[in-house]
Chain A
Amino acid sequence: MGNARIYAALAGGKWRSMLSYRASFAAEVLSNVGATALDVTTVFVLFRATATVGGFTLAEAVLMTGLTAFGFVLADMTVGNIDDLKRYVRTGLLDTMLTRPLPVLPQLVFTDLPLRKVLRLVFGATVYAVALVANDVHWTVGRVLLAAAAPVGAALFFGAIFVLTASFAFWWVESGEIGNGFTYGGRDFTSYPITVYSNWFRDLFAYTLGFGFVAYQPALALLGRADPLGLPAWAGYVSPLVALPAVAIATAVWRIGIRHYRSTGS
């Protein structure tokens, strides 16, 4: 990547911009940790009421939550601010990105890197690590590789969802919060064993949209549990690959979208 140094410079610029508002940056960093902590706490609260949920124990469910939290925050910290594309399109600010000798997507990502979410990353990684330890995983080479690949796959998958839903802004400038239904909604979906959801809803989100392969299936494979819903055991090991078609679709939609960009009058 010959452009890596350029993007590093852009990220550095963002960092120094943040430092010109130190107090609000600190406040945002803290409130962001709070938000993630709350998500994970929800799972604990749920298990106060019942010993198993959808056939899974607390520790097993936390593995899914942790995997989701880690993957999601990886995606959120990199492309999460792509949401802001709406503003760039509405104001025509995208014009200036289009006149530079760089692809637009990484420019947007690195110009506006959400560094305030940095502690969330630490938190997500910790929950995932703790869950791996707590579950007494029977480690094999396959499981070690899966444990490393699963958060990356989850991050790519969520990243693709971020880019895909943000691209809607090229067609509908006022796409508003539709995207959040899929990004944050998807995250909440994968935080729990998918056995808790009703049939049609599960079919749609878990299998048609692919969210079932983000945390639930890899967690099954790590735990060595058979899928109560009947998918074979190897499905869990290959599930991080679901990120590939997701990334391909998101990239294609983005490319078509940018051709639709019509700028604004000046």
Chain B
Amino acid sequence: MIRMQDLRKDFDVRVKAGRLRREKRTVSAVDGVSLTIEPGEMVGYIGPNGAGKSTTLKMLTGVLSPTSGEVSVFGLAPVPQRTRLALRIGVVFGQRSQLWWDLPLRESFQLLRHIYRVPPAEHETRLRRCRDLLDLDSFLDTPVRQLSLGQRMRGEITAALLHGPKVLFLDEPTIGLDVVSKQAVRSFLAELGATGDVTLVLTTHDLADIERLCDRLVVIDHGRVVHDGTIEALHARYGSRRSLVVDLDEPLPPGFTLPGASLTGVEADGHRVTFALDGASAGTAVAGLVAVASVRDLSVLEPDIEDVVARLYQAT
């Protein structure tokens, strides 16, 4: 459904060289990306600032033409067939509103209904669903300029869905939102994706979005794909491990080892120790500990995806 083959986008930037002279330099924002996305997938695109996420999305939506390589969505070439493609995709650019600033939200939706030539009945059905799931009713008649960011984002997502697109592209849909709004947006998108009718492609800096929504994670850095797969695959690849934090009455005997786990931290004079689980299950590790020491408290920590990603960015 979405295909990118060796996709590149170069920008010419002028950099200062001396007092008046400026030099032209070519920067590759996207540097040879090849990806295929199938119908119904939920793909999360992450990467540091300037990695090329938004540029890729803009090439997929027909905003920017690629410097080289191929890109197609529904078999359409996004830039030359921009208007045909636009009828079949939904786009949310978190930072750029597609709503009418001075009009009530409801009227923005009406204008979009005209732009996308949606029959009134279909429009009503889709709007009704979004109103229920995103709780729009309390601010449907408020001018967009007076909406909070969270309300506006819910409006933006509705606006992108009213013409019934089969692919929804979201560029940082949760940026700047408070916890409650983030939750609302995420559960809505999760529900949308669960129906299997809509393919979701989103970029984000918030890994919780990915964990909650995406079965496929694409990490991009310096314009190149550095990881493409599930979150579990990422953990496996970068050796991130669960860890076991144990509070003890007495420090462990010197030279103590736990099969299938390695000691990674000792705190509070040996009263708190941390083991990384290399193969042992949490259960066997706990049993091994209880056999030699008196355990007061313990907790098992899931690997932190933020750490993994931070390591990934540094490695490239």
Tell me which of A13, A91, A93 contacts B100 (CB under 8 A).
Answer: A13
- Closest beta carbon of chain A to B303's beta carbon, Å: 30
Any chain B CB within 8 A of the CB of A261?
A: yes
Any chain A CB within 8 A of the CB of B158?
A: no
Alpha-carbon distance between A17 and B64 when the two chains are bound, in angstroms: 30
Task: Determine the residue in chain A with the shortest Cβ distance to B58.
Answer: A263
- Asked whether, in the complex, the Cβ of B100 is within 8 Å of the Cβ of A99, the reply is no
Any chain A CB within 8 A of the CB of B63?
A: yes
Alpha-carbon distance between A13 and B82 when the two chains are bound, in angstroms: 24
Any chain A CB within 8 A of the CB of B107?
A: yes
A263 proximity list for chain B (CB < 8 A): 55, 58, 63-64
Report if A96-B96 is in contact (Cβ < 8 Å); known contacts: A17-B102, A262-B11.
yes
Alpha-carbon distance between A203 and B131 when the two chains are bound, in angstroms: 63
Any chain B CB within 8 A of the CB of A228?
A: no
- Asked whether, in the complex, the Cβ of B65 is within 8 Å of the Cβ of A259, the reply is yes
Any chain A CB within 8 A of the CB of B24?
A: no
- Asked whether, in the complex, the Cβ of A101 is within 8 Å of the Cβ of B86, the reply is yes
Contact with B along A80-108 (1 / 0, CB 8 A): 00000000000111011011111100000
- Asked whether, in the complex, the Cβ of A9 is within 8 Å of the Cβ of B111, the reply is yes
- Asked whether, in the complex, the Cβ of B54 is within 8 Å of the Cβ of A266, the reply is yes
B107 proximity list for chain A (CB < 8 A): 13, 16
- Closest beta carbon of chain B to A214's beta carbon, Å: 33
Task: Determine the residue in chain B with the shortest Cβ distance to A17.
Answer: B102
A5 proximity list for chain B (CB < 8 A): 114
Alpha-carbon distance between A21 and B107 when the two chains are bound, in angstroms: 17
Task: Determine the residue in chain A with the shortest Cβ distance to B159.
Answer: A96
Any chain B CB within 8 A of the CB of A20?
A: yes
Tell me which of B54, B93, B111 contacts A10 (CB under 8 A).
Answer: B111
Any chain B CB within 8 A of the CB of A6?
A: yes
Alpha-carbon distance between A82 and B282 when the two chains are bound, in angstroms: 65
- Closest beta carbon of chain A to B253's beta carbon, Å: 56
Any chain A CB within 8 A of the CB of B172?
A: yes
- Closest beta carbon of chain A to B8's beta carbon, Å: 14
- Closest beta carbon of chain A to B269's beta carbon, Å: 50
Task: Determine the residue in chain B with the shortest Cβ distance to A6.
Answer: B114
A-B contact count (CB 8 A): 84
Any chain A CB within 8 A of the CB of B98?
A: yes
Any chain A CB within 8 A of the CB of B212?
A: no
Any chain A CB within 8 A of the CB of B84?
A: yes
Any chain A CB within 8 A of the CB of B94?
A: yes
- Closest beta carbon of chain A to B113's beta carbon, Å: 9
Any chain B CB within 8 A of the CB of A265?
A: yes
A16 proximity list for chain B (CB < 8 A): 102-103, 107
Contacting residues of chain B (148-174) with chain A, CB-CB under 8 angstroms: 171-172
Alpha-carbon distance between A92 and B63 when the two chains are bound, in angstroms: 10
Task: Determine the residue in chain A with the shortest Cβ distance to B101.
Answer: A17
Contacting residues of chain B (113-135) with chain A, CB-CB under 8 angstroms: 114-117
Contacting residues of chain A (5-38) with chain B, CB-CB under 8 angstroms: 5-6, 9-10, 13, 16-17, 20-21
Report if A266-B94 is in contact (Cβ < 8 Å); known contacts: A5-B114, A17-B100.
yes
Task: Determine the residue in chain A with the shortest Cβ distance to B49.
Answer: A265
A261 proximity list for chain B (CB < 8 A): 63-64
Alpha-carbon distance between A265 and B63 when the two chains are bound, in angstroms: 13
- Asked whether, in the complex, the Cβ of B82 is within 8 Å of the Cβ of A98, the reply is yes
Task: Determine the residue in chain A with the shortest Cβ distance to B53.
Answer: A266
- Closest beta carbon of chain A to B175's beta carbon, Å: 9
Tell me which of A10, A93, A95, A259 contacts B58 (CB under 8 A).
Answer: A95
- Asked whether, in the complex, the Cβ of B82 is within 8 Å of the Cβ of A96, the reply is no
Alpha-carbon distance between A131 and B106 when the two chains are bound, in angstroms: 48
Report if A98-B63 is in contact (Cβ < 8 Å); known contacts: A16-B103, A20-B102.
yes
Any chain A CB within 8 A of the CB of B195?
A: no
B58 proximity list for chain A (CB < 8 A): 95, 263
- Asked whether, in the complex, the Cβ of B50 is within 8 Å of the Cβ of A265, the reply is yes
- Closest beta carbon of chain A to B311's beta carbon, Å: 25
Task: Determine the residue in chain B with the shortest Cβ distance to A104.
Answer: B82
A9 proximity list for chain B (CB < 8 A): 110-111, 114-115
Any chain A CB within 8 A of the CB of B61?
A: yes
Contacting residues of chain B (52-97) with chain A, CB-CB under 8 angstroms: 54-55, 58, 61-65, 79, 82-84, 86-87, 89, 91, 93-97
By Cβ-Cβ distance, the 7 closest A-B pairs, closest first, are A17-B102, A9-B114, A101-B86, A99-B91, A96-B98, A266-B95, A101-B83
Q: List 21 A-B contacts (CB under 8 A).
A: A6-B115, A6-B117, A10-B111, A10-B115, A13-B107, A16-B103, A17-B100, A17-B102, A20-B103, A95-B58, A95-B96, A96-B91, A96-B93, A98-B62, A99-B89, A101-B86, A103-B83, A261-B64, A263-B63, A266-B95, A266-B172
Contacts beyond the supplied A5-B114, A9-B115, A101-B115: 19 A-B pairs with Cβ under 8 Å: A6-B114, A6-B117, A13-B107, A16-B102, A17-B101, A17-B102, A17-B103, A21-B102, A93-B96, A95-B93, A98-B62, A99-B62, A99-B63, A101-B86, A101-B116, A261-B63, A262-B11, A263-B58, A266-B171
